[in-house]
Amino acid sequence: MTAPADQPDPAAGLPLEPRPAVRLLIDRETLQERVGELGAEVRADYEGVEPILVSVLRGGVVFLADLVRAAAMPCRADFMAISRFDASEDTGVVRIEKDLDLDLSGAHVLVVEDIVDTGLTLTYLLRVLAARGPASLRVCALLDKRARRIVDVPLSYVGFEVPDVFLVGYGLDLDERERGRSELLAVDDLDAVRADPALLDQAARADAPRRPAAG
């Protein structure tokens, strides 16, 4: 907490507590509860139409795997892999590295995304998918980093709005690792975490019940 500007800061002159390099943002239980709610919403909205859930590799697969089980409904799932066409430009143009196997024409398509950041990739992807003639095309995003949005992209389902900080876990990677974590961590100091990955484990355990030290 910061003191109001017109009052002396009581912490002034005291050594500042170092900002943690990484902190727990959303714990496992909170994630699972919200995914359960999203699954129930999707099941109700798509009753009787057997949608195709489209997941974008690789980050989206963890969320998709939990969402299909939470929805527990007749549906198909398909995957595509994309990469930025030109990493130096924020055009959102992507190269399709692996295309879908299913035909989308006449199908109700729900794109299941881990996180929407600038929205550039998703906007491009939606244009590509819309051209295939689906009966409907909507997006379910677990995380919405809205502060970073460059293009407005309509999201039908959002799990959580998240701050503009680098996130790791639950599908999101740090240098292609850490996708299997059941919780979501916010990394404020990437260099520190790269130098000492154990910081991630410590942060992940931050909400664990504290036990008195043995002895």
Pick the binder of Mg ion from 51, 59, 134, 159 (CB under 5 A): 59
Quote the least distance from Cβ 162 to ligand IMP, whole Å.
Answer: 8
Binding residues among 128-157 for ligand IMP as defined by CB under 6 A: 145
Tell me the per-residue interface mask from 45 to 74 with ligand IMP, x by CB under 6 A, - otherwise.
Answer: --------------x---------------
**Active-site residue identified among 66, 117, 144, 201:** 117
Task: Annotate each residue in 92-121 with x if it binds ligand IMP (CB under 6 A) or - if it does not, as one string.
Answer: x---------------------xxxxxxxx
Whether 122 and 113 have beta carbons less than 8 Å apart is answered as: yes
Q: Tell me the window of 74-82, 166-174, 189-197, 199-207 that interacts with ligand IMP (CB under 6 A).
A: 166-174
CA 98 to chain centre: 21
Which residues here bind ligand IMP, judged by CB under 6 A? 59, 92, 114-122, 145, 166-167, 172
Catalytically active residues are 117
